[in-house]
Amino acid sequence: MPLRSIAINRFGLGGRPDEDPPADPRRWLREQFASFEPTPAAFSAIPTRAQVADKLAAYADERPDSGKRDDPEKVEALQMARRRLRRNAQDQYRALAGARARAAVLSKAPFIERLVHFWANHFAISVDKQTTVGFGGLLEVEAIRPHVLGRFADMLGAVEQHPAMLLYLDQVQSVGPESVLGLRAAQRRGVGRVPGLNENLAREILELHTLGVRSGYSQADVTEFARALTGWSIAGVRRGPAARIIGDRARPGTFVFVEDLHQPGTRTIMGRHYGQKGFAQGAAILGDLAASPATAHHIATKLARHFVADNPPPALVQRLTATFLDSGGDLRSIYSTLIAAEEAWVPGPAKFKTPWEWSISALRALGSTGLADNQMADLLAELGQPTWRPGSPAGYDDTAPSWAGSDGLVKRVEAAERLAQRLGGGLDPRSLCDKILPGVLTQQTADAVARAESLAQGLALFLVSPEFLRR
């Protein structure tokens, strides 16, 4: 595989008929550091955080108090409110997912766009949880995109303070047992019904976002970290015990630190003591986690797996880890090491495309400007990778066995046929091949494409060829 084809397909999101393959592939990738748009036109009409939060808040306002829950009228009103919320959130989700796909299809900085998708999947939320449906897409827009070329620590901080993450991993429910509110509740209600610590976010930060599973932290570290994070919450969405305390002191959907929920005292995590007060305590821990060698190794492994091989070469992982640590988690430096790595430019297919990658590259190959929001959502659902819905905070798997399945393959062939017929409009697959996969096509595929019975069939065959299914 020539370098320009690797640049377009393995690093980028696939070629477009209206773009020429880069003359200097490595330089083309580096230039995208400057040309990447954090807020491209595709995002001009997406719902704002306040809009999403307002819908959630309105729903919360309509919830009857617990005492009135056997009133049939109230119950019905609640059900209606729930349906309304679901519909609103679903619309917001689709608009955001549609914008994401359009940005990817049209991007002139597809390498960086791919990195956005990588990080959004690293910091995965899943929109099958009701409260995250509307906020889900905003995590990527507000916490990932602005930091994709910045420092890992900043991205980490933005993610962990984002409403989507705080809601998805139950942080807003967490209360320090000896916090002002915790003590008050204990006095009033007695033990047993007291709201308490929720370790979900703390655990996933350690296991998934930073250090990585089995990297040396203990359950005691998880609990200590969870204590430190108490008080991290969101204004205006009226979930969890913080709701009444927060009141109106911040705009709906913004991050707030609620002192009255925070567990006082010094925390000890992996032998290190954190005596800071309030928000600064959790932030200091996050800062240390972001700079940890285990985190560097974890991120390096995932990046190498994404760009180079399902089983990434250890030498490359080592070099990426070293860059991470030497640069203080500077993402551009890390990407530069990746671009420079010989291992990343090995000819021959390195990765089996995920449904998302395949769909985006197919639309790009067809010169499309993107599908309608609902069509895009249907396509991805059909192929098995609905946007921001991996079903777990671990995100979608990034190796071939998860995606190279027979049913998935049939669905790709079917989708290719449909897309080629609908969007192919006069494109000649014979000339397209060389633009999208320059110097890659085997004679067998070229022949199959050339002998197709129609242009549309030729395009479909190209889109499901072994060369196009992999990158």
Partner 1 sequence: MIDRRSFLASGALAAALGAAPRIAFASAAGEQRFLFVIQRGAADGLHSLVPLADPGLRAARAALVDGLEEPVKLDSLFSLHPALVNAAALFRDRQALFLHAVATTYRDRSHFDAQNLLETGGIRPYAERSGWINRMLDLLPGARAMALAQAVPMALRGDHPVASYAPTRRAGPTPDLAARVASLYAGDRQLHDLWSQATQTAELVDDLSVGNGRGGKALGDLAARLLAPADGARVMMVETGGWDTHTAQKGRLAAQLGGLDALIGALKAGLGPAWDRTLVVVATEFGRTVAVNGTGGTDHGTAAVAMLFGGKVRGGRVLADWPGLRQSDLHEGRDLRPTQGLEDVIAGAVAGHFALDPEEVGRRLYPSIDRMKPLSGLIHAR
Q: How far is the CB of 348 from partner 1 (least distance, A)?
A: 12
Q: How far is the CB of 305 from partner 1 (least distance, A)?
A: 18
Candidates 356, 357, 368; CA nearest to 419 is 368
Distance from C-alpha of 325 to C-alpha of 409, rounded to nearest angstrom: 40
Q: How far is the CB of 404 from partner 1 (least distance, A)?
A: 6
Alpha-carbon dihedral sign for residues 229, 235, 238, 244 = positive
Cβ distance 432 to 17 under 8 Å? yes
The verdict on 464 binding partner 1 (CB under 8 A) reads yes
455 is written with which tokens? 């242009």
451 is written with which tokens? 């002998």
User: Considering only residues 425-454, where is the footprint of partner 1 by CB under 8 A?
Assistant: 425-426, 428, 430, 442, 444-445, 448, 450-454
The verdict on 457 binding partner 1 (CB under 8 A) reads yes
238 is written with which tokens? 């009226």
Q: Give whichever of 391 and 405 is closer to partner 1, judged by the CB atom.
A: 405
Strand 255-257 vs strand 267-269: parallel, antiparallel, or unpaired? unpaired
The verdict on 458 binding partner 1 (CB under 8 A) reads yes
Distance from C-alpha of 253 to C-alpha of 162, rounded to nearest angstrom: 9
Query: CB-hemisphere CA count at 13 Å for 164?
Result: 30
Q: How far is the CB of 354 from partner 1 (least distance, A)?
A: 15
DSSP state of 411: H
The verdict on 466 binding partner 1 (CB under 8 A) reads yes
Q: Give whichever of 392 and 454 is closer to partner 1, judged by the CB atom.
A: 454
Candidates 223, 258, 259, 224; CA nearest to 239 is 258
- Provide the CA 245 distance to its chain's centre, in angstroms: 31
Q: Give whichever of 61 and 453 is closer to partner 1, judged by the CB atom.
A: 453
Out of 423, 433, 439, 471, point to the residue binding partner 1 (CB under 8 A). 423
The verdict on 245 binding partner 1 (CB under 8 A) reads no
Strands (E), 196-293: 232-234, 255-257, 267-269, 272-274
Out of 414, 434, 441, 471, point to the residue binding partner 1 (CB under 8 A). 414
Q: Give whichever of 281 and 445 is closer to partner 1, judged by the CB atom.
A: 445
Binding mask 371-410 for partner 1 (x = CB under 8 A): ---------------------------------xxxx-xx
Q: Give whichever of 326 and 447 is closer to partner 1, judged by the CB atom.
A: 447
Applying CB under 8 A, the residues found at the interface with partner 1 are 404-407, 409-410, 413-414, 416-418, 421-426, 428, 430, 442, 444-445, 448, 450-458, 460-461, 464-466, 469
